[in-house]
Structure formats: structure tokens, C-alpha cells
Amino acid sequence: MVAVDSDDVVVRGVVAGAARGVILSFARAVQRVAADREGTRLLAEAAGNIAAAPVAMSSAMASSGRENHANG
């Protein structure tokens, strides 16, 4: 039978708890980075759509104007 010192058990528990805390903190940080990247991608996509909207609208209006003129 192996004798277990209670101080040894406490130290192991503290080390295990600290390691778990570090791992959980790292996992949360990775999730935040992933969320930030996704948010940045969505914002960039939305900004691109907003920037392209006037061009698309004026192109559609010009096309519609040509159709109306041709049919008029």
C-alpha cells in the first residue's frame, strides 16, 4: 500500500485546478478571436454590399431608363 500525504493531494489538486483554469481561459480566448474574425468578416461583407448598392441601383435605373425609352 502506498502512503499518501495530504499535502501532496492538496498540491496536486491546486495544480490540476490551475491547469484547468488555464485551459479554459485559452479556450475562451480562441472563441473570442473566432467570433471577432467572423464579426469582422460580416462587417466587411456588409460594407461591401453597402458600397456596391449605389452602383447597382444606378445601373438598374439606367437599364430601366433605356428600356422605357426604347418602349416609349
The pLDDT tens digits of the residues spanning 18-52 come to 888 888 888 888 888 888 888 888 888 888 877 77
Query: Which of residues 36 and 57 earns the better pLDDT score?
Result: 36
Look at residue 17 in the predicted model and tell me its pLDDT.
85
Tally the C-alpha atoms within 13 A of residue 47's C-alpha that lie toward its C-beta. 6
Sign of CA dihedral 39, 41, 44, 48: negative
Rg (the chain; Cα; Å): 31
- Could you tell me the pLDDT band of residue 68, with boundaries at 50, 70 and 90? low
Query: Which of residues 70 and 27 earns the better pLDDT score?
Result: 27
- Could you tell me the pLDDT band of residue 64, with boundaries at 50, 70 and 90? low
Q: Is the pTM of this model over 0.85?
A: no
DSSP letters along 37-69, please?
A: HHHHHHHHHHHHHHHHHHHHHHHHHHHHHHHHH
What's the burial of 22, exposed, middle or buried (CB within 10 Å: 0-12/13-18/19+)?
Answer: exposed
